A and B are shown apart, each in its own frame.
Chain A
Amino acid sequence: RIMPVRWSRYDPSYLEPEVNKELYQKPSEKLTEEEREQMELKAVRPIKAAPPTLSSSVFSDPMISKFTNMMMKNGNKVLARSLMSQTLEAIKRKQLEKYHKAPENEKETIECNPYIIFHQALKNCQPIIGLSNITRGGKTYQVPVPLTDNRKRFLAMKWLITECRENKHRRTMMPEKLSQELLLAFNNEGPVIKKKHVLHKMAEANRAYAHFRWW
């Protein structure tokens, strides 16, 4: 059942815009049944306007935009965007340093692309299972619960940002600290990965209460 939680300025019949250029250049024979139906539906329904953060250029990435929005404070998108670009630059610099110092045989294993490092680090930080508070007979238990994709991504990004804001020396800048954390997460080390493992252990410990979940 579709229940609109908040109302939006768009009519409910408006569909989301699709910005990827390559999807439009595909010839019609290679489309599957579902894609054909979707194309037909799109031809009839009106479509929402593309938001200002979305663009068809190579440089716009939905994950990076989401992360920038979460880092933003008081609506200062300019500052958040500049911090993000400085972080990616810092990652690239560190990786290049490592690349030039490494011996010949290890040069291929070092990843220099900051976007790949960012995506891989986020993936490594995502928890598989989460805990939720369920009250039964007066006592509140922490019950292990499966998480949706959106929730996993949100938790990974939230942990990274809180970790960078709190556990750092007063004089270190945010991009430096963020790049450090991202590189550690990329290699499956660091405090964020530790937090994820702690959560998994708690879920394993409270396995007995898993039957309290009714959804």
Chain B
Amino acid sequence: MMRGGRSLVSSPPAFSNDAKKLLVCTSNTVSVFSTVTGLLITSLEGHTALVTSVIVVPPSNPAAKVLCYCWTASLDGTIRYWDFSLPELMKTIDIRMPIFSMVIPSFLDVPAEENGKHQDLFAYVSIEDAKETQERTKASRRQIRKCNLSKSRLVGRLILGETRKPEVLTVSPSGKFFGIRNKCKLHIWKVLDQGSERAAVRKITLHHTKKITVIAFHPTQRIIAAGDVTGRILTWRGFGNRAFAASNGVADQKLINVQEDKPGVRDNDDADSCSTWHWHSAEVNVLSFSSDGSYLYSGGKEGVLVVWQLDTGKKKFLPRIGSPLLYFIDSPDPTLSSISCADNQIHLLKMPSMGILKTISGIKAPCCYPDMYEGLGNGIAFDQTAGIVAVRTENYCIQFYSLFDDRGVSEVQVCERNHQPGDDVTVIVTSVALSIDGSLMSTSEVKLAEEGIGGLVCLKFWDAGSQNKEFSLSTIVYEPHRDAGISAVKFHPSGNMVVSSSFGGDFKVWKCNHDVIQNDQMRQNFSWTCHAVGSYKKKPMTAAAFSADGSVLAVAAETLITLWNPYKNVLLAVLGETLTPIVNLSFVGKSDNLVAASCGSNPQLSVWNMSKLSLSWSYKLHIEAVASAVDLSSFAALVLLPESSKKTTFKGMDGVILLFNATDPVPTVIWSVRKAKGGALCFVQVSPSSVEEISIDGKAPEVLLAYMNGDHEYVLFDPYCKDAREVSVSQKEGLAAHDHKGQAGQYGYASIYGELPEFDRKRPEAPWVPSFPSDRPWETIFSGSSHNLPPLTKLCSAFLESLLEKRTAAAE
């Protein structure tokens, strides 16, 4: 049971006091990365929901720098105190309300001057009060509360503020103020004396006309910067002079009000001046003052980090980061800082020069394309032997991600284009295929036409050198199927053949001629040429698959399955037919079964027997992905649950993984999962070298099933090990897996049939149904190329036989 692919950028990370470690919130855990190597050191496990804040306890004196304590807050309603060097949980405070954000200002403010007098530690938290649903409107359930960490409780009924949405608290580096944004307003509180629990905190509000997205406090002066959705950066200087400094005397305030000229300050806001900078074209996501307060860092959707000189407004840029920026965190080491990007990467920057030292690379999120291009797969390909997944990313890249190591391996630029986050999508990488040994890759891309001109489909073949695993382009085919889009690309098991099927009604088999060029170093030169073209009644070809031994090529011509000899390009047989076009074909390991999944209004999962050329069994299921192991006779299917059953029985789970034995329509195991839309499945072979790491409950599995959900989070588990399933129930809370099966095989079967009664409808009574529709057999008998027709004697007998059969059926 391994999990991975979690988001590294759900919450801001935090540096340890010596800047050697970076604490990153990764869903239920906090992962500690080394800033030197960029690798995972350890993780803090204990929270049962998303961790939203991590705060490292700053050293009270220089000697304490080596101490590694941190506070974390999570949506499970607990605040925990950790020693992250061991790692060890020290303390848990349960406030029973989901915490969206937490700040502890007193760390930053108070030097630990007093020995005798023990001071309580206070945190301010942004929570959702779930208990009081009945009494209050939903709008005001999100509250800012004060929490006494020393006494492990919330401070009485003190509610500092209420907001419509959960807001992120921002604390000033000096620890004197903290604030939130609330639509077009800023609320700033001044933290008063620490000692008293009840001391009322004072609050001021600053106004703006646009929705504010992010705020930042100046480390030394009373300056606050805020970014809004239009890309403006506002800087208020001297905020709260009246409310915070002059603590008494209403009359004084009025006097000041009259006298002072406050440029740029709106209404009656409590600030000296407000200035505006505008460079960003879209909303500002990142604002941060440098530790000496002379620079302001800002960033946003453009993926450009801008450094503003605070006094002059001069700018410096770190351009083309390639993804919207989310957080910028300064480290205690002045030469190191980090930026988190929306594509799940954390870059460690060398500071004054802003060069990137290391990248902590998480799996990139799926790219969301507007629904404009048909036949778009999920763009996920697995390397079964090495346990590597290739996912397409937004910047026309293929990211290779190691499932076992849970980190990015490499990235291949498929289209040589400069990516700008937020651009219109005009070039789409539509499909990725990897050969079984993972050394060859094939990608297809589509350039969308502008008002009907200039569209282009491109098929590319890549090969990885023997030493380095960097893929290099070997062949480009422009318009492989004229202007028709490519529906599927599949590799032959031997790796030197590729089939590409197109919606234009034909498929092509590409063959690799590779010659070794003997110049300075051995270099293999792969070049791909078209070996054969096939089509069946001009029907759009929607899916393709090679059998495990490579002797049969199955291509789906909409609702029919055509079987070909890939070497001689001879049509062997036609299987038919399903109700809706087939979108996924897969041979089941070494067995003679073929799985076809069709989608649409009448989705279907059907299993065909190759030796009898007939349908074995089928279900009416909406299949998202099918995976079969190379040398097993079973396959797994990821099923999207229909809307009706989702709410009632599966508690928010929207998909199930069914593990079938190919000959048996009864699934052997069932797991239910979340976010199945856009998910992928694969059997991953366990290499002997990595067995020790993966061994589950003492014994090493041969094959693991990898499930990747729509957000590219994944889980690896042994589908045949019962104990592992027990483990999975206790661990998988957030992502997946309620094991419905338990010990008895009948339970799972009963459950699936209990929930989804419509499954029975299509379940055939007789296991073997001839694939010809029995009323008019001559339509399919004679299909196929004329030179390939069986001899007349055979045809006649088949024809007569079908007639006979029909008669008997009618007689019955």
A binds B: no
Hey, which bits of chain B sit against chain A, CB under 8 A? none
